[in-house]
Structure 1
Amino acid sequence: MKTIIKSTQVLSYKGSKVQNVAGTQSIFFLLFSIFSTLYSFAQEQDSTKVNQLDDVLVSAVRVTAKTPVSFSNMDKKDIKFRNLGQDIPILMNYLPSVVTTSDAGNGMGYTGIRVRGSDATRVNVTINGIPYNDAESQGTFWVNMPDFASSVESLQLQRGVGTSTNGSGAFGASLNMLTDNYASKPAGEISNSFGSFNSRKHTVKFSTGLLNDHFEIAGRLSALKSDGYVDRASSDLKSYFLQATYVGKTTLIKALVFGGTEKTYQSWNGIDGETLNTNRTYNSAGKFTDEAGNIRFYDNETDNYKQDHYQLHWSESFSDKWSTNLALHYTKGLGYYENYKFNEPVEGYGGILPTKMVENDNGDLVPGTDLIRQKWLDNDFYGTTFSVKYKDEKLDVIFGGGWNKYEGDHFGKVIWARNASITELGDHYYDDFSAKTDGNIFAKANYQFTEKLSFYGDLQYRRVTYKANSYETGLVDDEFNFFNPKAGLNYEINPKNTLYFSYARANREPNRTDYEGGNVKPEKLNDFELGWRFNAEKFQLNSNFYYMAYKDQLILTGRLDDVGSPIRSNSEKSYRLGLEVDATIVLSEKFILRPNFTLSNNKNVDLAVEGQNYGTKDIAYSPSVIAGNIIVYSPMESLHLSLLQKFVGEQYMNNIELPEAKLADYFVNDLNVSYEIKPKTVFKSIMITGLVNNFLDKQYVSNGAMYDIYPYYYPQAGINFLLGLTLKF
């Protein structure tokens, strides 16, 4: 994962080379064979049975229409039509206030998401209530879990601070995902898709159904590959998902094992403006000059990472009023990224005997050589989450929390040098460590004062300790204690109209890269939300005003460090002020419109950079206009055609509104078609899906970076397509 790597600077990437999933696949297929023979013993169940017990896994972190929070939901039906291999952020692209980008340019490999201008390090992500953000970088790396969308039952994106959750504090949004429910009857699914840039996805799923009314085993295997739009931006991805479920009258127990491996050619350097105009797909990663003076590209300039997740959930409903949930989790990550370094100063590498002099960053001639290095990350993340829920006619209370610990070893290897070395194979040229402990408790309550008026209260205490020791961070031994109160009112004017108002306080600790840059102040946020919801049979409207006032906000500067990690700095005073509107309009049985837009003003106040005051300036990567629209036409029940449109206004890549740092606005159109056949024999369903991305062939850039005063861009693909076939039985 790119960002992970980046955020830890010396950390490494995930690696599909490090380990493979052969063992997991063998176990997976063995279980499939065993339980397929047990189908005859499974008793017939009602296929319409609703798996309500699964909702308990995320009830502690999710909100409903009675909670004064701005949110959007997506379920499996929303995902399936476009689930052809692109990452979850790309599938969420058409939600309000969302901007997505792809390093490879086609939505596979490394992808990123921003919500209300806040990047992925500020979006809290949980899976079944378990934190997913990397503890040190605070980022999320979907490339580590390719095709995870195929195992997602539903997801909820809460904008702003949202409700209290586990893991890193939400400063732009929080995203919680619920994995697949258990199935009542045996089922299987085979899905394949192919498309532009040699992209393909192959997925196999199965479920035993409920055996003896109580037990189910289900799983998935996926393999994805793509050359990417950008030169050599290839990805080779594999993932698995396996769950065992016990369902009792009042009990749900789930054991899950899932993860993946990735091998991705690095494509995060970007290109300058001149190259953008002449060779949009150029990739400078791996470039070097050989001894004969020929320009070449190293063929293994790759990011490699393997990540495995283990979760155990126990939910119990003691009565109609009381229920509990307890979860244990463990995540193992291991990987590296590999670089060819041309004319590299050898200070700090230890033991290399150079034969030439090279120029360092200060312009001085120092000993140097060509070399190939690997930067490794070996980490463990484990802990527990819990919640207790009480609900009666007027009061809904949840008490919960979690404790999690991260332990990471960062080390580097020189696996080749043009000149001799006195080091042994496997020696480390640096060894760093880090440890982070994150604990929180919270209490939430919804109280119905009257038939129309309800009150929401949410109190959270969070304690974080972080220890690290490296050349980049220095010796770190920090502790943070955060109190995060939230409160709001929900007023139902009539059955169709509801008003709400809320206030939320949030605090966040710096990440590893911030320590490397000396920006170690925690940031604070006061979030005010005022919304109106209208709900009629054929027209639903959600509108929300927000004002987010920051103290010492860690804003993106647009610059990247030597491993491509975004560099941030504290802005003493800043704010985001905006209006979000989204609607669903049913024009007829065949036509549905789903438009949304966000208008915002995002400013640093009296911004000071290196002693110079620039006054009030736009916050980087925060467009003032974001709009989306989905037009769905269903001439028959089995045929769906969707036109998906996205507009993102102009934005700056730094915080001083440098003209060269401006990214132009763009408007992109996608076309999605699906046709489902339901045969009477063999297959339950045959679905053919097609996706034509950017069918107007817009030449656009969705992201960029600043190297000093020089802009670099990440171009996205022109017209491209994906075509898929899914067989269910």
Structure 2
Amino acid sequence: MRGFLFATAALAAITPQALNAQSQSDTTKAEILNEAIVKGVRAQKNAPYAVANVSRKALQNFSGTGRELPFLLSTTPGVLSWSENGVGIGTTYMRIRGAGDSRINVTLDGVPLNSPEDQCVFWANMNSYSALLDGVQIQRGVGSSTNGDGAFGGSVALRTKAPSYDPFVELNASYGSYNTYNTGFSMSTGLLGNHFVADAAFHTTGTDGYVHGTAGKSGSWYAGLGWIGRDFIIRYRNIGNYEHTGQAWSGVTAGTNDLSIMDGTYGKKTGIKTYADMYRVGLGRFNSLYESMDPETYKTTRYTMNDGSYWPKTTDNFWQDHNILSVAWDINENLKTTLSLHYTYGYGYYDEFRSDNKVSKFGFDLVNEKGKPFRSDFVRQKGLSQNAVGAVYNISYNNNGWDVIGGLSAQMFWGNHFGYLTYVSNPDVVKHYPALAGLNDTALDNGRYTYYDSDARKDDYSGFVKASKQFGEHFTVFADLQYRRVNYTTDGINDKFVKQEDGTYKNQRLDIDEIYNFFNPKFGFSYKTGNHRAYASVAMSNREPERNNFTDNYNYPYPKAEHVNDYELGYQYSGSVFRAGANFYFMDYANQFVQTGMQSEIGENLTTNIKDSYRAGVELVAGVDVAKWLTLEANAAISSNKIKDFDEVVEDWDAESGFTTIHYDNSTLAFSPSAIVNGFAIFKVKGVQATWHTAFVSRQYLDNTQNKDRSLPAYSLSSVSFNYPIKLRGFLRQITVGLDVNNIFNAHVATSGWVYSAIYASGGHPNDNRYYQIGFIPMAGTTVLGRLTLSF
């Protein structure tokens, strides 16, 4: 209903212009106009940036797997992806050049997709988007100006398919390991009455997950309506998503809340240093959100409620509804303009079992006769609702070697954060606090107690001008100027409690009102002759702190806006048989937010400002057509990622203050491997395409201390996929069958993780005098998935 009202109002405002457009069926014109909608956020032709494009065919082949889009993007240079459940579905993350999701700008048809507060894209809420897309462009580094949050690792521009002039229906299904499945359909009416096109799609994905307790289901739907004239197109798209997924944000944790089982803890020789060691002792699928573990015997036990029933699992539940209305007008052969209005509604929550927690964690001051806080099992429900509305306007001019684009973007966001207790197992706690009287200790749905609530508002306005001028046949100069203004406010009470002098606890108070003004210039040039192209650029970008930088700041200073100067130098060769390229970069940061290795209570990677740091490296690509039936391709990202001066604030259980500061010179940034390499062998024989892919990722440090004990070892994963399209005549036009085999060699590796450490020299810890615990985010062993697509 929200989408229908939004569309009706917007269509009424622009229909008079549409009626003046001349009627002519022209598929190429529709595609050109559709491209104009996203031109403002994509790199211009021959732009001096590091760019990778993902084709429609690659997206189509990938869509049947049900895996989240970052796993396809990670086949391009310098991109890593991983999922909590180990099978690539559900809660999924990615990094570009070592920068996490909140530092990667993502747009859909030019409309910002990043959640305004935490600046992330939640890929679990975008399942099967690859089936809706015509192309994806990844710009590594700052890249050209875009809409929404600043790009500090890269930007991803998603473009939906242009309306189809031909009617079609497509059905797809897949099934594989861990009861993983994906089903869906897409259709188009084709052109009706020389002007109208309606199209739709629906996909659903489910899995039992590799990690215990991560079974889930997610899906997406798409409904579109287009009016197409000779030089005018109006498109309305409603894209909705839902997900109900089991969570494992703590990963496969080496220990319990109170005791680590990492080798050397309290002087014990457990032999557990890596995820492979966890797998060896039978804990490869352990999930501390789902079960407890005896640190002596490694026996796991499901969490139980007071009535003896099992806690089902921790789940994330979210609904999201995007509405985009776009108008593109080809004024003449040199001038085009577009306008997109957008509205997004989202609502969601997660339920989590908290085992044997201190009651003070939820603001209760009840203590026993020894003065220690009571303990209890809890079930908490934390959630949010959000509304975002905005507009994106672009105008482009192309003539006499000039390519000029101007753009304006405005977005207003409102959000509410809330937290409830729905279960408290300790009857003494329930009895002592009248506010908990509505809770039933055997039923989760018989009441709730609100323990925090806050509201947020964020306004984001920006404008840019991009211009390129070609001089002669070979030389092009680029300039790009952007101004961005952000106002973020939030007030209310947070989910953290501060002990008062009288022994009671009060919520952390939120009262934030910050305004940021950013100017982001970019300049560069490109030289092209024959099959050769060289380019260079310098780009500046600024970015505001995200919500967690304020609310989870702990012992670090108040967050500052961050700044980067990005220098790029590249060369490309494109021949008929061989192609290659090299891109050198140096990203010089001031006040970069870097991951500390710690997580929030819900698995979010915590960050802090670092005064001086940099990311530098080279990205290489190459491909050769060995024969008509064989193509070899490879890409590599080799980098150095350093903090010039880093002060670690670490808990010290032996110190009176409780904390110690340790200084490091030129340490390696966390989660920034020095090498990421992809190799491909593509075979094409009698219509069958087989692709072999091997990926190598070097060691990743889990914090910024460059300590090998707190790191993930290098790993390599190989996969193979088969696609066989069978063309037919008649109503059924084509049958496509496929097979994917992932992690062929059954490697037991962790692709990401977290670490908690504290100095405890008197505890007998030989590893840097640290008590430490690692949570490993693993990849499942060998998995197989079969695919079938019917095209009508």
| Greater shift in the superposed pair: 696-705 or 285-294 | 285-294
| Change in 2 beyond 3 A, CA 1:577/1:73 | same
* Partner SS for 2:434: coil
Q: Does 1:725 align with 2:706?
A: no
- Take 1:232 and 1:612, find their aligned partners in 2: how far apart are those partners? 38
Percent identical across equivalent pairs? 31
- CA distance, structure 2, for counterparts of residue 51 and residue 703 of structure 1: 40
Aligned pair partner of 2:475 in 446, 450, 453: 453
Q: Which amino acid aligns with 1:712?
A: G
Q: Which residue, out of 679, 699, 702, partners 1:653?
A: 702
The one-letter code matched in structure 2 to 1:215 is F
What secondary structure, in the 3-state scheme, does the structure 2 residue paired with 1:82 have? helix
**SS where residue 220 of structure 1 aligns?**
strand
Deviations 1:257-280 (A, max 9, x none): 011111111111122254343221
Q: Whole-Å Cα distance in 1 between the matches of residues 52 and 509 of structure 2?
A: 38
* Superposition deviation, residue 607 in structure 1: 1.4
Residue of structure 1 equivalent to 2:574:
535
Alignment correspondent of 1:506: 541
Decide which of 564, 567, 570 is 1:525's aligned counterpart: 564
Aligned to 1:132: 113
Residues 711 and 369 of structure 1: is their aligned pair in 2 closer, same or farther, counting only changes over 3 Å?
closer
CA contact 1:453–1:489 (8 Å) conserved in 2: yes
The unaligned stretches of length 5 or more in structure 2 are 5-22, 255-261, 263-271, 273-277, 293-301, 439-446, 495-507, 650-660, 758-771
Distance 2:154 2:304 in 1: 51
The alignment partner of 1:150 has SS state of helix
Q: Which residue of 2 aligns with 1:475?
A: 511
Cα distance, 1:66 vs structure 2:
1.1
| 2:413 counterpart of 1:406 | yes
Structure-2 residue corresponding to 1:314: 327
C-alpha displacement at 1:190, in angstroms?
0.3
Matched residues, number: 683
Match in the other structure for 1:123: 104
Q: Is the counterpart of residue 679 in structure 1 residue 679 in structure 2?
A: no
Q: Which runs of 5+ in 1 are unaligned?
A: 1-18, 25-42
Q: Does 1:603 align with 2:647?
A: no
| Aligned with residue 422 of structure 1, among 427, 434, 441 | 434
Distance 1:209 1:112 in 2: 36
**SS of equivalent to 1:515:** helix
Distance 1:295 1:280, change over 3 A: farther
Alpha-carbon RMSD: 2.4
Contact 1:448 1:454 in 2 (8 A): yes
Residues 161 and 699 of structure 1: is their aligned pair in 2 closer, same or farther, counting only changes over 3 Å?
A: same
Deviation string for 1:171-214 (max 9, x for gaps)? 00000000121101110000000000000000011100011221
Q: Equivalent residue for 1:572?
A: 611
Determine the C-alpha separation between the residues in 2 that align with 1:205 and 1:166. 29
* Amino acid in structure 2 at the alignment position of 1:59: K
Kept in 1, the 8 Å contact 2:580–2:620? The answer is yes
Instruction: For residue 237 of structure 1, give the secondary structure of its aligned residue in structure 2.
Output: strand
Structure 1's 345 and 527: CA in aligned 2 closer, same or farther, altered over 3 A?
A: same
Structure of higher RCO (CA pairs closer than 8 Å, 6+ residues apart): 1
Equivalent residues of 1:345, 1:369 under 8 A apart? yes
Describe the shift of the 1:67–1:286 C-alpha distance in structure 2 as closer, same or farther (beyond 3 A). Answer: same
Matching of residues 223-242 of structure 1 within 5 Å = 223-242=204-223
State the distance in 2 between where 1:112 and 1:296 align: 33
Which AA in structure 2 matches 1:514? Answer: N
Matched, 1:66 2:46: yes
- Counterparts of 1:25-44 in structure 2, within 5 Å, are none
2:787 aligned counterpart, secondary structure: strand
- Structure with bigger gyration radius: 2
Q: 1:651 to 1:148 in 2, by over 3 A?
A: same
* Aligned with 2:314 (options 287, 301, 304): 301
Aligned to 2:280, which of 263, 269, 277? 277
Task: Specify the SS of the correspondent of 2:193.
Answer: coil
Shifted more, 648-657 versus 267-276: the winner is: 267-276
TM-score (norm 2): 0.83
Query: Shift in Å at residue 353 of structure 1?
Result: 10
Q: 1:53 to 1:695 in 2, by over 3 A?
A: same
| 2:34 alignment counterpart | 54
Q: Say which SS state the counterpart of residue 339 (structure 2) adopts.
A: strand
- Report the AA paired with residue 624 of structure 2: I
Q: Which residue of 1 aligns with 2:15?
A: none
Identify if the C-alpha distance between structure 1 residues 357 and 261 changes in structure 2 by more than 3 Å, giving closer, same or farther.
Answer: farther
Q: CA deviation at 1:426?
A: 4.8
Residue 369 of structure 1, aligned match among 365, 376, 380: 376
Q: Which residue of 2 aligns with 1:435?
A: 457
Q: C-alpha displacement at 1:297, in angstroms?
A: 5.4
Q: 1:393 is matched with which residue?
A: 400
Please state how far the C-alpha of 1:622 moved relative to its aligned partner. Answer: 0.5
Q: Tell me, what secondary structure is at the counterpart of 2:740?
A: strand
Counterpart secondary structure, 1:723: strand
In the alignment, is the contact (CA less than 8 A) between 1:544 and 1:579 conserved in 2? yes
Q: 1:701 aligns with which of 729, 750, 769?
A: 750
**Structure 1 residue 415: deviation in Å?**
1.8
Q: Does residue 554 of structure 1 match 2:589?
A: no
Look up the match of 1:516: 551
- Residues 48-127 of structure 1 mapped to structure 2, 5 A cutoff: 51-83=31-63, 84-127=65-108
Report the Cα distance in structure 2 between the residues aligned to 1:563 and 1:87, rounded to whole angstroms.
Answer: 20
CA distance in 2, matches of 1:291, 1:646: 41
For 1:290 and 1:233, how far apart are their aligned partners in 2? Answer: 15
Aligned: 1:545 with 2:584 = yes
Distance between the aligned counterparts of 1:541 and 1:168, measured in 2? 32
Asked if the contact 1:169/1:507 (under 8 Å) is kept, the reply is yes
Distance 1:198 1:653, change over 3 A: same
Give, in angstroms, the shift of residue 357 of structure 1: 4.6
Aligned residue for 2:488? 466
TM-score by length of 1: 0.90
Shift in Å at residue 339 of structure 1? 1.2
Aligned in 2, Cα 1:253/1:46: closer, same or farther, shift over 3 Å?
Answer: closer
